């Protein structure tokens, strides 16, 4: 979409408020609001913000950055008033000199996608995201009481979440995002929404919009949506299954040819498995993440499979058009731009080095495990030359400092941290 098309849309659709949104280094959505008469100059030269209080942006020249709206991300926020409507544009972070800010995670993912194209490959990414719906107490605060007692793919009346899921999906459609499917998950009050594969930056943009939509729609129903990796101690955790396909000349490399995976697909998988322990901190960034990874039946085994077992990586439906590499260890609290970028770069490294993939016959019970604690994940990330090569500037140190702070809070008062994160995530 061109800038003039954005301006015409604003005028024709009675838009009175525009939210310029971006994610910080940890994936949290932030925004400022402007009026319609300020949109044209914003599209032309950006809007200045004080970057010093934004995680990951303290290194901005002079403490300032520009939010530069991406016209292709224009959407109406359907949960806002229909008279005097509100729309949203996602933004890139740019320095006052006009350069892309080196700590902008959206730009990092765009760079990873470009590296794939330079290697003659196209990457497509989809997500399957789980979340819980929890009841509120009399003061409007979230409880640990699930909204229903339904189970996997239940129907009403056991599934009381179906109306909320339907409204979430319809809301996303109004935002020009079409989910693939939705259903009740295994845990009580737990749901899943799945998305078609898309270009990497688009996939991350859609995921960020999805989180916002779920929280906003759920609030209208008087329930709390949480993406915390394991909010209920004795129930299933929330996962974010990342589905990646690599195409060469339009051919899906993960689709079986004559019963065999292509060598390039095997090397991509080997690259991801090799780097997965080092990047787990970024795919699983909270103490609660390791409660999920350490639970019985978790996808914590450093191997691959074509079956549903404890393997972190698998190839579902390898003989169909749905063939892909699916990583099941990440959780919904990761920054999708950084997570996707690290996975793409790990796969490309494997391809470039013709990395060897362990045989499919390796049993998950015999395979190495992913980090079982945040301490272990931090140590592996801190010692990783790959992480420091892919992530820009002080980004690794920002993540490491945050991890240490969260671990200290968890040790001193785990219940207080759990409540704070239940509210935030």
Domain 111-424 has CATH 3.20.20.140: no
275 pLDDT tier (thresholds 50, 70, 90) = very high
Question: 254 in helix, strand or coil?
Answer: coil
More confident residue, 423 or 239: 239
Contact 224, 169 (CB under 8 A): no
Helix, strand, coil shares of the chain, percent, nearest 5, are: 40, 25, 35
Helix (H) or strand (E) holding 144: strand 142-146
- For residue 88 the two structure tokens come to 């949203």
Contact 4, 73 (CB under 8 A): no
Query: What count of other Cβ atoms lies within 10 Å of the Cβ of residue 41?
Result: 11
What's the pLDDT tens digit per position in 361-418? 566 677 889 999 999 999 999 999 999 999 988 999 999 999 999 999 988 877 777 7
Q: Give the Cα separation of 85 and 116 in Å (integer).
A: 39
Point out the least confidently predicted range of 133-137, 264-268, 329-333, 366-370. 366-370
pLDDT at res. 415: 77
Q: Give the Cα separation of 234 and 281 in Å (integer).
A: 24
Q: Where along the chain do the CATH 3.10.20.70 domains lie?
A: 3-101
Q: Give the Cα separation of 321 and 306 in Å (integer).
A: 15
Q: Is the pLDDT of residue 319 over 80?
A: no
pLDDT at res. 413: 79
Q: Is the peptide bond before 287 cis (omega within 30 degrees of 0)?
A: no
pLDDT at res. 7: 94
196 pLDDT tier (thresholds 50, 70, 90) = very high
**10 phi, psi to nearest 5 deg:** -60, -45
pLDDT at res. 60: 86
Contact 6, 74 (CB under 8 A): yes
Q: Give the Cα separation of 345 and 113 in Å (integer).
A: 9
DSSP 257-303: BTTB--HHHHHHHHHHHHHHHHHHHHHS-SHHHHHHHTSTT-S-EEE
Q: Is the pLDDT of residue 195 over 70?
A: yes
> What class does CATH assign to 3-101?
alpha beta
CA distances 198 to 154, 206, 242, 347, Å, are 29, 9, 12, 17
320 pLDDT tier (thresholds 50, 70, 90) = confident
Average pLDDT over residues 301-306: 90
pLDDT at res. 364: 67
Q: Give the Cα separation of 252 and 319 in Å (integer).
A: 11
What's the pLDDT tens digit per position in 39-86? 999 999 999 999 998 988 888 888 899 999 999 999 999 998 788 899
Query: What count of other Cβ atoms lies within 10 Å of the Cβ of residue 359?
Result: 8
Average pLDDT over residues 307-313: 86
For a pLDDT cut of 70, what percent of the chain falls above it? 99
Q: Where along the chain do the CATH 3.30.590.10 domains lie?
A: 111-424
Q: Give the Cα separation of 160 and 162 in Å (integer).
A: 6
pLDDT at res. 20: 98
pLDDT at res. 362: 63
Averaging pLDDT over each range in 254-258, 276-280, 298-302, which range is the top one? 276-280
290 pLDDT tier (thresholds 50, 70, 90) = very high
More confident residue, 259 or 330: 330
What's the pLDDT tens digit per position in 75-111? 999 998 788 899 999 999 999 999 999 999 999 999 9
CA angle 228, 384, 237 (to 5 degrees): 15
What's the pLDDT tens digit per position in 122-163? 999 999 999 999 999 999 999 999 999 999 999 999 999 999
Q: Give the Cα separation of 105 and 110 in Å (integer).
A: 9
């Amino acid at each position: 979409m061109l800038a003039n098309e954005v301006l015409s849309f604003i005028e024709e659709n009675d838009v009175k408020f525009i939210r310029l949104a971006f994610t910080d280094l940890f994936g949290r959505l932030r925004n400022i609001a402007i009026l319609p008469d300020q949109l044209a100059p914003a599209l032309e030269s950006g809007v200045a913000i004080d970057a010093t209080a934004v995680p990951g942006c303290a290194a901005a020249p002079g403490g300032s950055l520009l939010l530069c709206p991406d016209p292709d991300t224009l959407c109406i926020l359907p949960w806002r008033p229909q008279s005097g409507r509100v729309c949203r544009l996602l933004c890139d972070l740019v320095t006052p000199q006009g350069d892309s800010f080196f700590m902008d995670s959206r730009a990092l993912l765009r760079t990873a996608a470009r590296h794939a194209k330079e290697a003659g490959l196209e990457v497509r990414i989809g997500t399957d995201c789980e979340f819980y719906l929890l009841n509120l107490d009399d003061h409007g605060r979230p409880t640990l009481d699930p909204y229903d007692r339904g189970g996997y793919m239940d129907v009403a009346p056991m599934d009381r979440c179906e109306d909320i899921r339907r409204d979430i999906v319809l809301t996303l459609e109004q935002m020009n995002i079409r989910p693939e499917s939705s259903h009740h998950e295994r845990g009580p009050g737990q749901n899943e929404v799945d998305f078609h594969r898309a270009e990497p930056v688009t996939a991350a943009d859609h995921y960020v919009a999805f989180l916002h939509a779920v929280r906003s729609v759920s609030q209208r129903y008087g329930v709390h949506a949480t993406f915390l990796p394991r909010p209920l101690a004795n129930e299933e955790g929330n996962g974010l299954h990342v589905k990646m396909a690599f195409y060469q000349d339009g051919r899906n490399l993960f689709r079986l040819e004559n019963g065999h995976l292509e060598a390039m697909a095997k090397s991509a998988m080997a690259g991801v498995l090799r780097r997965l322990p080092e990047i787990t901190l970024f795919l699983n960034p909270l103490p609660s993440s390791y409660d999920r990874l350490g639970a019985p039946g978790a996808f914590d085994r450093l191997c691959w499979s074509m079956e549903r077992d404890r393997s972190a990586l698998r190839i579902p439906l390898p003989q169909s058009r749905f063939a892909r590499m699916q990583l099941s260890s990440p959780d919904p609290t990761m920054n999708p731009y950084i997570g996707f970028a690290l996975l793409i770069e790990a796969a490309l490294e494997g391809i470039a080095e013709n990395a060897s993939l362990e045989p499919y016959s390796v049993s998950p019970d015999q395979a190495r495990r992913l980090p079982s604690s945040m301490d272990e994940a931090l140590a592996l990330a801190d010692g990783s030359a790959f992480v420091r090569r892919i992530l820009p500037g002080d980004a690794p140190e920002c993540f490491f400092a945050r991890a240490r702070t969260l671990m200290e809070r968890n040790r001193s008062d785990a219940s207080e941290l759990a409540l704070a994160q239940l509210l935030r995530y």
